[in-house]
Structure 1
Amino acid sequence: MTDPLVGKLPGRARSLEEYAAMMGSAHSGEHPNHRPYEPQDGDVFITSWAKSGTTFLQQMFHQLRTAHRGGDMDFDDISRMTPWDDVALMVDFDMTAPQVASPRGFKSHREYERLPTGMRYAVTLRDPKETFISFYRFINGWHLEPGSVELEEFLPFWMGGGPGGCDYFTHLLSWYDRRKEPDSLVMTYRWAVKNRSAAIARMAALIGVEMTPEIEALVLERTTREFMHDHKDKFDDAMVCKVLDEKCGIPATSDSSKVQSEGSDAKEVPQSVADAIDAMWAERVVPVTGHADFAALAETVDAEA
């Protein structure tokens, strides 16, 4: 008699240990189409930390560089338009493939020190506790079986910062230090969302797009939460979903959208986690910046913007 469990894919992870094994499975097998990233002058890296506005900036960047032809929503995955080198092997993607417009754009969650030098960089910074809740909402029910990992257990996962990333504080300090460099556009996520016209103008200046009222109106419309949520299938990691379905048994129909209908509230963070994050901030950020918390740091970054 054949065992019905033989060959059965494990599905969503039920612990952080199972998650690690799941991702190992996702990277297994042959990758005949993969080619690693090769730097070219003028490349742009959209490199916010995980759940800090990366998708928002990807959409802003892509609509700006295609605005001369009416913008572009003819894609299945925004990370096919602005490829992510850290998952390129897993999804068998050619990072050297021609892009649909220039300049070339790439996604990352890395700090400056681990990116190619001499490029251009766009970053939004976000309150660490908001990223914690947003990250949990994103993973819980997609990679992880709903409720299998409690918020109190999630801190080590959050610290990882997503594929290829770094811990939150390494990323924050790296880009805070570069906020006045001409090759780096550094904004807080909250400021960029509330001041989208200004943020779009700053992105256009970074990538060499001459702004017109028509371009501004197009990109303003297409970077609203409502527009992106209405088109959330464009922002749901479709390429990653396909691999996780085929190799790990996680249904591609899972809600993996990075565009949530409502923002994440830092007040949802358990007290024990909030205390741990505050302690790390006091140890690592205060001595370097003098800012007692993210609100104080954001005030400086926003004022400069």
Structure 2
Amino acid sequence: MSTPFEKEMKERLEEAKNMTEKDKVYMYNGVLYPIIMCKPENLKAMETFEAREDDIMLAAYPKCGFNWMVGMMRKMSAVDSCVDEKHAPIPSLLEFVNPEKYQSINEAPSPRLLGTHMHPDNIPASLTNKKTKILVVLRNPKDTVVSFFHFTNKNPILPTAESWDKFFADFMSGEVSWGSYFDHALSWEKRMDNPNIMFVTYEDMKENLSEELKQIAKFFNFTLSEEQVNTIAQESTFTAMKESSKHTHGPMCNVIFRKGEVGDWKNHFSEDQSKEMDNRFEKCLGGTKIGARLKYDIYCQ
């Protein structure tokens, strides 16, 4: 039996078949978005979305580990609420929600699991006003652009990249869906000291997932034992998540979950591209708190 996600994606994939590559994205307030998932009316409706203080909000630039984190948050919230995982809240990406569906989200019981890839300046103001806790997932830019490149080419909803070199150039200029990686990072940098926002990195989760999950559980006030956290970590390795996604994401599982590696950029970058990224990172994020959290010298050299 198809899940609601599979059913919706099947409809979206059918829609994509009748579109030209260039028509799959459009500009909204100076940023590119995939029109099939992020219609203009969705983004407009999102502006007036009413957050709650006890919402669980996840945020990440595309291909930084968002879907991996969604899976873990569902497991943690299920254990915390003493319910079967299949009854844990399904995340709603705010920019994917059409105006009609906001009614059901508004009526959903707490805690709601929400998410977004939007630039932090463009997420609903009510999240700040209600002091909703936000978990932000970061990832080094070199692996992010590689993952984004493959995601774009394997996802019919997005325009196929002409080549790796072209996609890299577009990424560096911010001419990709959801805009510039560096603009996102710089905007989150301004919020690093906000007590209602927690930052985790893809790389730290790969290094010590149990420890990261303990900190996340503490942030959201989940009452999980150390044994429960360790069990969730074991069930949430990338391999395990990719396998389980076959039952939740259907044909999209291999699109959303590819390699899950740190350092795959070395198989794609030319020497000049590596230097260009190094220079951009230093110019934009050198000396920043987010720059330090990303451990660029360790993962991108």
* TM-score, normalised by the number of residues in structure 1: 0.70
Structure 2 counterparts to residues 216-235 of structure 1, below 5 A: 216-233=229-246
Q: Which of the pair is proportionally richer in strand? A: 2
Structure-2 separation of matches of 1:212 and 1:54: 24
- After superposition, the C-alpha distances for 1:138-182 in whole angstroms (9 at most, x for unaligned) are 1213227997620111142573564xx442112222334434432
Which residue in 2 is equivalent to 1:247? none
Structure 2 counterparts to residues 143-222 of structure 1, below 5 A: 143=156, 149-155=162-168, 156=170, 159=174, 162=177, 165-222=178-235
Q: Unaligned regions of 5+ residues in structure 1, if any?
A: 1-7, 239-252, 300-305
Structure 2 counterparts to residues 27-42 of structure 1, below 5 A: 37-42=49-54
Match of 2:69 among 57, 78, 82: 57
Say which is worse superposed, 211-220 or 53-62, in terms of deviation. Answer: 211-220
* CA spacing shift, 1:170–1:71, aligned 2, 3 Å: farther
| Alpha-carbon offset, residue 288 of structure 1 | 4.8
Determine if the alignment matches structure 1 residue 129 to structure 2 residue 142.
yes
Structure-2 separation of matches of 1:222 and 1:290: 29
Q: Aligned partner of 1:43: which letter?
A: D
Structure-2 separation of matches of 1:135 and 1:298: 21
Percent identity reads: 16
Structure 2 counterparts to residues 1-305 of structure 1, below 5 A: 11=17, 15=21, 17-20=22-25, 23-24=34-35, 37-67=49-79, 68-69=81-82, 71-73=84-86, 81-89=90-98, 94=103, 96-99=105-108, 102-115=110-123, 116-117=127-128, 118-143=131-156, 149-155=162-168, 156=170, 159=174, 162=177, 165-233=178-246, 236=249, 253=251, 257-263=255-261, 265-271=264-270, 273-286=273-286, 288=288, 294-296=294-296
* CA spacing shift, 1:160–1:103, aligned 2, 3 Å: farther
Structure-1 separation of matches of 2:248 and 2:154: 17
**Cα RMSD over matched residues?**
3.9
Structure-2 separation of matches of 1:133 and 1:91: 35
Q: Aligned partner of 2:70: which letter?
A: Q
| Alpha-carbon offset, residue 291 of structure 1 | 5.5
Q: Unaligned regions of 5+ residues in structure 2, if any?
A: 1-13, 27-32
| Alpha-carbon offset, residue 206 of structure 1 | 1.4
* TM-score, normalised by the number of residues in structure 2: 0.71
Structure-2 separation of matches of 1:231 and 1:290: 32
Q: Which of the pair is proportionally richer in helix? A: 2
Structure-2 separation of matches of 1:282 and 1:51: 21
| Alpha-carbon offset, residue 134 of structure 1 | 0.6
| Alpha-carbon offset, residue 129 of structure 1 | 1.0
Structure-2 separation of matches of 1:293 and 1:185: 12
- After superposition, the C-alpha distances for 1:204-257 in whole angstroms (9 at most, x for unaligned) are 111111121443244223322122111123564x7xxxxxxxxxxxxxx46664
Corresponding pairs, count: 267
Larger Rg: 1
* CA spacing shift, 1:50–1:262, aligned 2, 3 Å: closer
